[in-house]
């Protein structure tokens, strides 16, 4: 039995050594052919340039160089009688010329996009950036933004005839690509160690430029705020629908399934070993082992869902609890706190009068009355070294 296994290993070793030897020999031949072709190409290019401007024969001595060409003479470059093979550092055989491979016509030389330096270019660039920021009413801090600096660094590498993308491409193809990149980045951070600590989801309704929306966010260990989706409810409302509990739950259920169906890149996958045996002379011998790696999914990672105190979203949370028994629905603390202070400043007379007084003082000395507001700002800065303003009172929802 031992002799049988030893013979098999010897045959495999012999075949591998033969294959490696043949591959090394073939690679050496390819290198020699390519180098000879390069030498021939250099000779052709140099001969063409020497025909345009031919020096006197006595200016340079006729000495063969390392590439196998004689020096420049009245007849240009001449092939030396002793051509050196660059692969083996030995004279090439006479049949080398017939094996020369000409380079493909599709090859192109790399171009360097450089322009002559202009001393005033730096000032012109600064003025152009300032004009762009100021004329478009952008934040001055945009010039310190890393994305803006990265864009300027990339601009140095494009050719002079580069044209920026069109409006349709920015709002279509490039927008979709940026969304995919941002989604992958946010979910990777969100799902890291999610199998151990879990993640929570939260959402709320919003009106963005008269369009009814519902946002869905999530929070994890390494990503406290990940915007997952913004649902557009315009068509649903136009068809006579309402943002009731079943509709909101139907929006969140596919999103939860999408997160839990993703493969965990941070956890080692299950390794299953499959053994194949064969019986030879009543002895069992292990022939091979196959290892199959299967990724694990994020099943059951969403364990908390938060909404505000509105009845429709709280009922939607209870629907999600029934659909996914591991989920616990809760009410947002900020909304509960807001309702608490709303009761204080609307139902207790003393606090209600204080609210009215603060609103009037802010309107007179800190808002629409120009003269009193300017006087208050001037004297507050004189006494406090900084201008003192008012906090705008706002009604709680």
pLDDT tens for each residue of 133-144? 999 999 999 999
Q: Which pLDDT score is estimated for 265?
A: 64
Measure Cα distances from 227 to 187, 217, 218, 375 in Å. Answer: 9, 5, 7, 44
Asked if residue 148 is part of any domain, the answer here is: yes
Q: Is residue 243 predicted with pLDDT exceeding 60? A: yes
Asked whether the CA dihedral 217, 218, 222, 225 is positive or negative, the reply is positive
DSSP H helical segments within the chain, as ranges? Answer: 2-52, 121-135, 146-155, 167-170, 173-191, 194-197, 234-238, 245-260, 311-323, 333-347, 349-365, 370-384
Same domain, yes or no, for 180 and 316? yes
Phi-psi region of 193 (alpha: psi -120 to 50; beta: other; left: phi over 0): left
Same domain, 234 and 182: yes
Rounded Cα gap, residues 157 and 170, in angstroms: 20
pLDDT at res. 226: 92
Q: Among positive and negative, which fits the CA dihedral 164, 166, 167, 172?
A: negative
Between 374 and 28, residue with greater pLDDT: 374
To the nearest whole number, what is the mean pLDDT of the chain?
Answer: 75
In a shared domain, residues 324 and 350: no
Pair (147, 26) in one structural domain: no
- pLDDT confidence tier of residue 112, bands split at 50, 70 and 90: low
**Residue percentage of the chain with pLDDT more than 90:** 35
**Domain membership flag for residue 112:** no
Look at residue 109 and tell me if it is in a domain.
Answer: no
Same-domain status, 235 and 155: no
Same domain, 158 and 193: no
321 and 349 both lie in a single domain? no
Taking the chain, what is the end-to-end CA distance rounded to the nearest angstrom? 85
Q: Render pLDDT for 183-210 as a digit per residue (tens, 0 to 9).
A: 899 999 999 888 889 999 999 888 888 8
Shared-domain flag, residues 358 and 305: no
Same domain, 356 and 245: no
Is 17 domain-assigned? yes
Regarding whether 279 and 184 lie in a shared domain, the answer is yes
Is 40 within a domain?
Answer: yes
Residues spanned by the domain of 70: 2-99
Q: Return the closest-CA partner of residue 230 out of 255, 247, 210.
A: 255
User: How would you classify the pairing of strands 226-232 and 211-219?
Assistant: antiparallel
Residue pair 320/302 in contact (Cβ under 8 Å)? The answer is: no
Tokens of 109: 């030389």
Q: Which residue has the higher pLDDT, 33 or 132?
A: 132
On whether the pTM is more than 0.75, the answer is no
Sheet (strand 199-208) strand order: 226-232, 211-219, 199-208, 302-307, 328-331
180 and 243 housed in the same domain? yes
Q: Within a domain: residue 351? A: yes
φ/ψ of residue 279, rounded to 5: -95, 120
Q: How high is the pLDDT of residue 147?
A: 93
Question: Looking at the structure, do residues 129 and 255 belong to the same domain, yes or no?
Answer: no
Task: Domain count for the chain, please give it.
Answer: 4
Q: Does any domain span residue 16?
A: yes
What mean pLDDT is predicted for residues 40-66?
48
Give the model's pLDDT for residue 214: 93
């Amino acid at each position: 039995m031992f002799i049988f296994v030893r013979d098999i290993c010897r045959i495999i070793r012999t075949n591998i050594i033969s294959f490696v030897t043949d591959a090394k020999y073939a690679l050496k031949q390819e290198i020699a052919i390519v180098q000879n072709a390069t030498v021939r190409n250099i000779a052709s290019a140099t001969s063409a340039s020497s025909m345009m401007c031919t020096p006197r024969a006595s200016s340079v001595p006729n000495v063969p160089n390392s590439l196998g060409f004689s020096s420049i003479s009245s007849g240009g470059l001449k092939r030396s009688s002793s051509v050196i093979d660059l692969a083996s550092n030995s004279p090439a055989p006479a049949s080398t010329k017939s094996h020369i491979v000409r380079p493909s016509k599709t090859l192109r030389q790399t171009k360097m996009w450089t322009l002559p330096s202009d001393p005033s270019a730096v000032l012109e660039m600064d003025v152009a950036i300032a004009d762009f920021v100021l004329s478009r009413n952008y934040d001055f801090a945009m010039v310190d933004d890393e994305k803006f600096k990265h864009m300027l660094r990339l601009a140095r590498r494009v050719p002079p005839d580069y044209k920026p993308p069109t409006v349709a491409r920015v709002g279509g193809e490039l927008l979709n690509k940026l969304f995919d990149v941002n989604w992958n980045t946010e979910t990777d951070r969100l799902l890291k160690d999610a199998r151990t600590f879990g993640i929570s989801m939260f959402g709320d309704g919003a009106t963005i430029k008269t369009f009814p929306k519902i946002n869905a966010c999530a929070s994890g260990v390494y990503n406290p705020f990940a915007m997952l989706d913004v649902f557009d409810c315009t068509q649903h409302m136009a068809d006579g629908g309402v943002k009731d509990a079943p509709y909101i739950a139907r929006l969140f259920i596919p999103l939860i399934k999408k997160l839990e169906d993703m493969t965990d890149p941070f956890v080692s996958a299950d390794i299953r070993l499959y053994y194949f045996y064969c019986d030879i002379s009543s002895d069992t011998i292990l022939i091979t082992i196959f290892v199959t790696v299967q990724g694990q999914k994020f099943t059951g990672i969403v364990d908390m869902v938060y909404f505000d105190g509105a009845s429709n979203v709280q009922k939607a949370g209870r629907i999600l609890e029934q659909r996914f028994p591991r989920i616990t629905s809760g009410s947002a603390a900020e909304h509960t706190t807001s309702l608490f202070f709303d009761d204080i400043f609307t139902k207790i007379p003393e606090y209600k009068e204080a609210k009215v007084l603060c609103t009037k003082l802010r309107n007179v000395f800190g808002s629409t009355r120009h003269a009193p507001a300017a006087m208050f700002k001037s004297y507050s800065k004189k006494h406090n070294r900084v201008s003192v303003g008012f906090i705008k009172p706002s009604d709680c929802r």
